[in-house]
Amino acid sequence: MQKRPTALAFDVFGTVVDWHGGIVAAVAPLAAARGVTVDASAFALDWRAGYPLAMDRVRRGELPWLHIDALHRMILDGIVGRHGLDGLSEAERVQLNRAWHRLPAWPDSVRGLTRLKARHTITPLSNGNFSLLTDMAKQAALPWDCVISAELFQHYKPDPEVYLGCAHLLGIAPGELMMVACHPSDLRAARDNGLRTAYVRRPLECGPQTTLPAVADGEFDIVATSFEDLADQLGAA
Amino acid sequence: MQKRPTALAFDVFGTVVDWHGGIVAAVAPLAAARGVTVDASAFALDWRAGYPLAMDRVRRGELPWLHIDALHRMILDGIVGRHGLDGLSEAERVQLNRAWHRLPAWPDSVRGLTRLKARHTITPLSNGNFSLLTDMAKQAALPWDCVISAELFQHYKPDPEVYLGCAHLLGIAPGELMMVACHPSDLRAARDNGLRTAYVRRPLECGPQTTLPAVADGEFDIVATSFEDLADQLGAA
């Protein structure tokens, strides 16, 4: 590979933190307290499935700019019924929606990021809103150098404004920035905007039944199995 | 004082870092290498003096939006002549302008911020551009939870958009945010926008000849002599 990237921009949901495990852990006690039997994994998958659809409505202009907290809440209100959770109070819904601010990091995330930080500027580059990413970093001790959210550009990935806006804010060329994600679609958009790319496999992203996406040989600059492996491949100490 | 503020927003130049000392340390070797005798303190004061004037030209619309790196460079080119430094090459000017990205923290800054971070979200809220603040944090090990720059709002302090935009990004009300600064004018604007205020004395901000600004009794919620003192007053461990 050519010169080391100056900065690394990380997708967050699935790549850095375990949204499936975090939502399962948040919904289970709420359901139990109400005496409702819920398939917590199915609930988490259902909630997450609404997310790209909702963002696409914003991207197409069918919805005004709404940040992820608002979209998550809209989706939540739409799915509680089919999971037997329509009895959740307003306070419980607010609390559950905040679970996205408190998602747990994957076991290798903090250690890998800490190693990478020694030689690269590291930032999230997520569709999650700014306060969500800031709260999450504080909670999970993610050692970011700064926080960059799609909210800053009022555009969601994969819109070019997000990738190019990130490089611009960091004062570097797109080619000096490497996008790190477990979603090939995110990486392909980053690559199409001149960024470098690192694909990290997250075989538990959607829980035990995760199907890993297909990735062509040589499609991305790096393919890694964890942030520790990524750090090794980038020559971190 | 009422309930503890959720987040603390810090002015940076003078409040967190020593711009006078940093610029003196950067210009002295460049001048020496050229055999020029320079009053490094006078040079630093002169460069800094151009900064509010340049920002005001942007705020009044006489200049388009330009970030601080661009304003610093414009001011630098205007003052080198009267300090005998007009012989500086383009590369030397670029290097000198980057000194603002590498300013040293005051001795109490990192320790105080680390203590405050345990119970508050801490962010810079500076007119410095985003990459400048990010580079500075990395260099000086400032443990910010996120980086918020006036650049994100395309408005300079004391425009209301900066103070209110910071609270909005953090997802909190202005009254849950406390501005920390060594400049009363910054704090007065923050207060006028509903923020809480902490004044920190920095008697060496402009070097040994610093004149501390006048502050009326009770004008600000807290008056502190250092970030350690601020942490004490906010009940940090």
AA identity, residue B158: P
* Mean of the per-residue pLDDT values of chain B: 96
What integer pLDDT is reported at residue B41 of this predicted model?
97
Which residue in the set B121, B134, B152 is minimally distant from A145, CB to CB?
Answer: B134
Contact A145 B131 (CB under 8 A): no
Contacts B131 to A, Cβ<8 Å: 169-172
Closest to B19 (Cα-Cα) out of B132, B157, B156: B132
Q: Using 50, 70 and 90 to split pLDDT, how confident is the model at B172?
A: very high
- Per the omega criterion (within 30 degrees of 0), is the bond before A29 cis? no
CA distance A178 to chain B (A): 16
Most B CBs within 10 Å, among A98, A169, A170, A176, to test the B interface: A169
ipTM of the shown complex: 0.95
CB contact under 8 A, B147 and A147: yes
Whether B82 contacts chain A with CB within 8 A: no
pLDDT at B39 over 70: yes
Low pLDDT (below 50) residues in chain A: 1
CATH number among 1.10.10.10, 3.40.50.720, 1.25.60.10, 1.10.150.240, domain A19-102: 1.10.150.240
Residue ranges, CATH 3.40.50.1000, chain A: 7-18+103-233
Instruction: Please give the span between the terminal C-alpha atoms of chain B, in angstroms, as a whole number.
Output: 18
CATH T-level topology, domain B19-101: DNA polymerase; domain 1 (1.10.150)
Residues of B in contact with A138 (CB under 8 A): 121, 145
- Whether domain A7-18+103-233 has CATH 3.40.50.1000: the reply is yes
A70: closest chain B residue by CA: B171
Average of per-residue pLDDT across B31-54: 95
How confident is the model over B121-165, as pLDDT tens digits?
999 999 999 999 999 999 999 999 999 999 999 999 999 999 999
3-state secondary structure chain A: CCCCCCEEEECCECCCECHHHHHHHHHHHHHHHCCCCCCHHHHHHHHHHHHHHHHHHHHCCCCCCCCHHHHHHHHHHHHCHHHCCCCCCHHHHHHHHHHHHHCCECCCHHHHHHHHHCCCEEEEEECCCHHHHHHHHHHHCCCCCCCEEHHHCCCCCCCHHHHHHHHHHHCCCHHHEEEEECCHHHHHHHHHCCCEEEEECCCCCCCCCCCCCCCCCCCCCEEECCHHHHHHHCCCC
Q: Do B134 and A69 touch (CB under 8 A)?
A: no
Residues of chain A with CATH 1.10.150.240: 19-102
Closest-CA residue in chain B for A140? B145
Amino acid at A189: A
Q: What integer pLDDT is reported at residue A13 of this predicted model?
A: 98
Distance from CA of B6 to the nearest CA of A (A): 11
- Encode pLDDT of A62-102 as tens digits: 999 999 999 999 999 999 999 999 999 999 999 999 999 99
Rg of chain A over all Cα atoms, to the nearest angstrom: 18
Using CA atoms of A19, A22, A24, A28 in order, give the dihedral in degrees to the nearest 10. -150
Taking the Cβ of residue A145 and every Cβ of chain B, the question of whether any pair is shorter than 8 Å is answered with: yes
Residues of chain A with C-beta less than 8 angstroms from the C-beta of B124? none
* Residues forming CATH 1.10.150.240 domain(s) in chain B: 19-101
pTM, to two decimals:
0.96
